Amino acid sequence: MGKMYIEERAINLAHYIIDSKDTVRGAAKKFGISKSTVHKDVSERLQKISPYLASEVRSILDENKAERHIRGGMATKLKYSHEHKD
């Protein structure tokens, strides 16, 4: 894998996250790579390639991070609501 592939992947990840508002975990699953790789691509590598794109992604990831406790609570609520119906 060359440098161009990695830069292209970072840009593709950025566009995906911006368009879909997906999380690092969701992007990792979609692209078939680890969460660590996604994080490194969009936070470190992307900053050198396109600072503007990096800041766009950062704002979405910060928003996702701020909302994750809500999503976690909803997942728990859903899990237990299914158990009580059985």
CA contacts within 13 A on the Cβ side of 76: 6
Residue 57 confidence (pLDDT): 96
AA letter at 72: G
pLDDT tens track of the chain, all 86 residues?
Answer: 688 999 999 999 999 999 999 999 999 999 999 999 999 999 999 999 999 999 999 999 999 888 878 877 888 888 888 776 65
Written as one string, the DSSP assignment of 45-85 is IHHHH-HHHHHHHHHHHHHHHHHHHHHHHHHHHHHHHHHHH
User: Where is 26: in which H helix or E strand?
Assistant: helix 24-31
- The count of structural domains within the chain is 1
Parent domain of 26: 3-85
| Three-state secondary structure call for residue 7 | helix
Model confidence, pTM: 0.79
Residue 33 confidence (pLDDT): 97
